[in-house]
Structure 1
Amino acid sequence: MYLNSTLFAQIAVFIVLALFTMKFVWPPIAKVLDERAAKIAEGLAAAEQSRNALKSAEKRSAETVRAGQEKVAELLLQAENQSQRIIEAAKAQAQIEAEKIILGAKAEIEQEALRAREALRERVADLAVAGAEKILRREINAGIHADLLAQIRRDF
């Protein structure tokens, strides 16, 4: 009999302890567990937001890099075009300068030719006068005249 009463007493103590635990001990433990679960959920949400922000930042940085590469390519193309324009302008300027130099050289050659012709004319005139003088100094004779003209031609 003692066994039954002990069993009933233990069951009663267990029920009282279970009610006491459910009423006073379990709610703070559940509250702490709920708070911890909420913190874990917040941490997971923050991690997810961070992951999304990282993906977004990676996309923006990739876009920025691509835009930068496009800008560099565009600047290189512009620089190449500008260098081609400068080269073409320099070629055109050099052609103009060459034409000016050629025209100047032609004009100088023409002036030199005119001077040579003028000097030649003077020389021919001097020779003609000298020949005329020699002819007039001697008597008029066809053989002597022919000799004198041949001598003038040799001198010339």
Structure 2
Amino acid sequence: MNINATLFAQIIVFAILVGFTMKFVWPPIAKALDERAQKISEGLAASEKAKTELAVANKRVEAELSKSRNESATRLADAEQRAQATIDEAKVRANDEAAKIIAAAKADAEQQVVKAREVLREQVASLAVKGAEQILQREVNAGVHAELLNRLKTEL
């Protein structure tokens, strides 16, 4: 065999192999590589989209947390104000009730003083009459001298 014929045969076989590979083997491989590249690019795009969505969600969560903190602080302040108002109102009612009790006690004490004075006046008048009886050594008629006794009561 001649080297030229062998070389020529090898060139023909190689050309057939290249043609067969380009027609039947290469398109599925290229298609698989293209699909894989497309999946990778879609995955990267989805990853970037997820990152932006995560950032937006984090901002929204922070805003909601801030809003919740502000609302809870406002509610706490309102509750403290209501509690203080209730305490102040209770103090005012207690002071009013104490003033009423003191006024009633003072009025009761004054009534008792008046009663005690009346009793004391009657006792003094009775003692004065008894003293006068003893001094005069005779019996004094209380009915006759009622006007004198009443004047004596008012003077005492």
TM-score band w.r.t. shorter chain: 0.7 to 0.9
Give the letter aligned to residue 30 of structure 2. Answer: A
For residue 127 of structure 1, what is the aligned residue in structure 2?
A: 127
For residue 99 of structure 1, what is the aligned residue in structure 2?
A: 99
For residue 111 of structure 1, what is the aligned residue in structure 2?
A: 111
For residue 47 of structure 1, what is the aligned residue in structure 2?
A: 47
Asked if 1:66 corresponds to 2:66, the answer is yes
Q: Tell me the CA shift for residue 106 of structure 1.
A: 0.6
Give RMSD over aligned pairs: 1.8
Deviations along 1:56-104, one digit per CA (max 9) or x if unpaired, are 2222222222222222211111111111101101110110011001101
Query: Partners of 2:3 and 2:30 in 1: how far apart?
Result: 36
What stretches of structure 1 move > 6 A for 4+ residues in a row?
A: none
Does 69-78 or 128-137 show the bigger shift? Answer: 128-137
Does 84-93 or 1-10 show the bigger shift? Answer: 1-10
For residue 77 of structure 1, what is the aligned residue in structure 2?
A: 77
TM-score normalised to structure 1 length: 0.79
Unaligned runs of 5+ in 2: 139-156
Give the letter aligned to residue 107 of structure 1. Answer: A
TM-score normalised to structure 2 length: 0.79
